[in-house]
Amino acid sequence: APIRLRDYRRPPWSVDTVELDVDLGIDTAEVTARLVLRRDAEQSQPLRLDGEGLELLAISLDGRALDANSYRHEDSVLEVDGAKDGSVLETRVRLKPAANTALEGLYLSGSRETGFLLTQCEAEGFRHITFFPDRPDVLARYTVTLRADRERFPVLLAGGNPNGAGELEHGRHWARFIDPHPKPSYLFALVAGRLKNIRRDYITADGRNVALVMWSEANVIDRCHYALDALERCMRWDEKAYGRNYDLDVFHVVATHDFNMGAMENKGLNIFNAKYLLADPDSSTDEEYRAVEAVVAHEYFHNWTGNRVTCRDWFQLSLKEGLTVFREQQFSADMNSPSLKRIEDVSLLRRAQFPEDAGPLAHPVRPAEYREINNFYTATVYEKGAELVRMLAGSLGPDGFRRGMDLYFERHDGQAATIEDFLSALGDANSVDLMPYLSWYGQAGTPRLHAHGEYDAARKEYTLTLSQHTRATPNQPEKTPLPIPVKLSLFDHSGNVLPLHTDGQTPETEKVVVVSKASQPIVFRHIDAPPVPSLLRGFSAPVLLEYGYAPAELALLLTHDPDGFNRWEAGQHLAFLAFDSLHAPTDNDACGAWCDALASLFHGRAIDDALLADLMTPPGEIEFADRQTEVDPAKIHAHRQELQRRLAAHIGIETLHARYHALNVGGDLKLDAGNQAKRQLKRRVLELLALVDADGAHALAAKQYESATGMTDRLAALGVLVRQRAPQAAKALAHFRERYADNPLALDKWFTVQAQVPGDAALASIRTLEIDPAFTLKNPNRARALFGTFASGNPSGFHRTDGEGYRLLTDRLAQLDALNPQIAARLATAFNGWQRLESVRREAARTALVALAQRGGLSRNLSEIIGNVLQH
Ligand code: ARG
Ligand code: ZN
């Protein structure tokens, strides 16, 4: 049965202090836990602790060994008789780290001979380590003592401050860590093995000396410097922007190649997927550098939004994740370009979250129920959650939001809080009621904001009517109107922004209207001619805008809006119209308007190269599919290519060649924004050129591949060659394979790029790649590089009419599920939206899904996803 938000009860038993003694070994580890128990005076349930896959070796209560009839150990629960408030329970269990392929709890990263041990506890991994009330509202003080063979495990780390270390008999040693801050069990972590480090001293704004230490295996430690710099930057930023200081004497960060997600904010001991920690020009792209900076900041920011103030229960996950994503977005915008960052984040939202909201897996930012919490670390909880915080921050303004956050920390430091607590603190600090925003947290689905303008020439009035509607989602047929902040401006037909006169206001050029009813008119006075509205500026709310723009109006905004993000928005909207006009030509030549506007920006050279590259990129295939009901991914791919081909033809082969050469500066690799922008535009130009002058572009790409001084240029060139199946592709691939044989993160890209081959050729490519000796389903990054890319990043390759893509994926999901249910469930979300496929593919998808469901024996993770996808 599902777990429901409305069933929340305070913990009947909690834990004051935990003493963990861990004897580490590759095959087995023994964990002794001494828990000082606290009983809730108003509840009388017996003591029940969570535990999964633990072999119980010993158990005692208040110093007395328990006989077999005073406790019951069934499946995942340990029930103990006779515990009182203040009792001390001691258990000893045996674990099998090397046999743990689920990468949850204590597991081995790398080989038995050279690998190291580490833990992952969020959300419910701690119960795989010891018996415990494994829920985030049980906050305890941890003392952790690690013991292991010194030669095999020279480095022993746990969260908190170091508190002694020493030698033991038989070549063993020990190390102790005490965490002074009470924390939930999901923030526990330990690491043990042969690791190297780089370190730096840091003094917090409030005067604490902190040792910042990055750890990795010896061969990649040189690639941790960029992350260490990023850590220092984000620590300073949090001190300034939010007045938040770090609160331990050490901050350890560890990189692993075997990790189920991006990274984890364990108190004082962050653990990172190497993909988000290691960076060097030879193996990382510019985009990956930005991702490292963003994830380092995200995990660091959790120290306050997540750790100091944690979540009462897992339904509140977005309390820490949405808020922390938002904080990271602000930081990254400050470090880089705000408009480019906003473009990146909004396109991610549209690519990953809008489809979620529109399909069988739709759920509110605060879900009402779940079976497997790991399935709810979604784009909705993270990215839409961040958009909700952005709306709140926007409505309070920078100073008001800071006041609200200060009060939130003041009130809830050391507590496990709720979304309501968050809204109350922000509201109370500013004497406003933010509770109407709570409905955003409880309602699934992307609202549609419909806008309609009427111009009254006689009265010189422009009336904009804004109405909202949210379609039904699974288990949520009825929707209520939400408060939607719509930031808007009006432009005249020469592209000048107009002063806005509304009742009783002094005129401004930009205004926020909060639409909270089903439909709301707003009147602008002293308007001399029908204006062009620029709506939802900065993407002021996560909604789908419906406004019947004429192509010329969008072209005007694309050329004249002073804000880079809004220009991009206009361009995206125009690209949709252009796409539609390809197969239903109308009088309004949207494609012509799109090409004209972009060509003039391209020639004008007045805007930043990176922004230009973004403007010249139409929405992705998934976004086009999202607007259709009988989705044919092959057709969408072909039409999107045709759209780009027309743009390329309109700009002209000669002009593209000339710009390519102008951008191809050569020389030493530089990572500054200007050079990153050049590389990004160069890549776009090369991709466009490949559509109108394939031979010429392939020759350039082959040359670029050979002479590239960094991964950005090298991978861009390889991508063009491979996706276009150019004659030069094989040689480049062989070279890449050889060159990066010992670099798993770079090798992942070799798999990814080949899994992106569009159309029917993809399947053969996947079949060849999966028998490559370097392929393994056991490594999440590798499995994602191949099957994640194929199933979720290559619609025209995956959605074959013969259903072979679906059969291959479901077969592998069944295999993967036996190894790592979290990853299997994640990859299975590729079937989201199958009901909107055209009928041949739809039937093929249904058949494959039903066959998978009928295999039986699936994990709770995978069966929840498959069940939901089939049911709704
Ligand atoms: N809290 C981590 C982060 O976003 C992610 C943990 C995800 N855990 C999981 N089991 N899916 O920073
Ligand atoms: Zn997070």
Q: Is the pLDDT of residue 495 over 70?
A: yes
Pocket residue to mutate for ligand 1, from 52, 119, 120, 122, most atoms within 8 A of Cβ? 122
| CB distance 255 to 191 below 8 Å | no
- What is the mean pLDDT of the segment spanning 296-312? 99
pLDDT score at 75: 87
pLDDT score at 539: 98
**374 alpha carbon – ligand 1 mean position (Å):** 8
pLDDT score at 588: 74
Among 302, 379, 374, which Cα is nearest to 347's?
379
| CB distance 262 to 209 below 8 Å | no
Given strand 77-80, what is the order of strands in its sheet? 47-50, 77-80, 71-74
Give the Cα-Cα-Cα angle 430, 435, 439 (nearest 5 degrees): 145
- Partners of 439 in the β-ladder: none
Question: Residue 664 is encoded by which pair of tokens?
Answer: 């191809």
pLDDT score at 587: 66
- What is the mean pLDDT of the segment spanning 530-537? 98
Task: Give 241-300 pLDDT, tens digit per residue.
Answer: 999 999 999 999 999 999 999 999 999 999 999 999 999 999 999 999 999 999 999 999
Task: Give 361-380 pLDDT, tens digit per residue.
Answer: 999 999 999 999 999 999 99
Tell me, using a 6 A CB cutoff, whether residue 178 lines ligand 1.
no
Ligand 1 atom closest to 264 (CA): 2
Q: Is the pLDDT of residue 327 over 70?
A: yes
Q: What single letter denotes the amino acid at residue 211?
A: A
Catalytic residue flag (residue 299)? yes
pLDDT score at 236: 99
| CB distance 36 to 86 below 8 Å | yes
Task: Give 589-613 pLDDT, tens digit per residue.
Answer: 999 999 999 999 999 978 999 999 9
Q: What percent of the chain has pLDDT over 70?
A: 99
Question: Residue 64 is encoded by which pair of tokens?
Answer: 């007395």
Query: Any idea what DSSP says for residue 496?
Result: P
Tell me, using a 6 A CB cutoff, whether residue 321 lines ligand 1.
yes
pLDDT score at 665: 86
Nearest CA to ligand 1 atom 3: 264
Among 492, 533, 488, which Cα is nearest to 511's?
488
**251 alpha carbon – ligand 2 mean position (Å):** 17
The whole-chain average pLDDT of the chain stands at: 97
Question: Residue 696 is encoded by which pair of tokens?
Answer: 């010429």
Tell me, using a 6 A CB cutoff, whether residue 274 lines ligand 1.
no
Q: Is the pLDDT of residue 305 over 90?
A: yes
Task: Give 456-493 pLDDT, tens digit per residue.
Answer: 999 999 999 999 999 999 999 999 999 999 999 999 99
| CB distance 449 to 485 below 8 Å | no
Ligand 1 atom closest to 377 (CA): 11
Question: Residue 661 is encoded by which pair of tokens?
Answer: 């050469």
- Using CA atoms, how far apart are residues 858 and 856, in angstroms rounded to an integer? 5
Task: Give 563-589 pLDDT, tens digit per residue.
Answer: 999 999 999 999 999 999 997 766 679
Task: Give 157-182 pLDDT, tens digit per residue.
Answer: 999 999 999 999 999 999 999 999 99
- What is the mean pLDDT of the segment spanning 774-802? 98
Q: Is the pLDDT of residue 677 over 70?
A: yes
**263 alpha carbon – ligand 1 mean position (Å):** 7
Return the residue matching tokens 């919490």. 373
Model confidence pTM above 0.90: yes
Tell me, using a 6 A CB cutoff, whether residue 307 lines ligand 1.
no
Q: What percent of the chain has pLDDT over 90?
A: 97
Tell me, using a 6 A CB cutoff, whether residue 123 lines ligand 1.
yes
**220 alpha carbon – ligand 1 mean position (Å):** 24
Tell me, using a 6 A CB cutoff, whether residue 752 lines ligand 1.
no
Q: Is the pLDDT of residue 445 over 70?
A: yes
Catalytic residue among 288, 299, 328, 372: 299
pLDDT score at 583: 79
pLDDT band at residue 355 using 50, 70 and 90 as cut-offs: very high
- What is the mean pLDDT of the segment spanning 524-537? 97
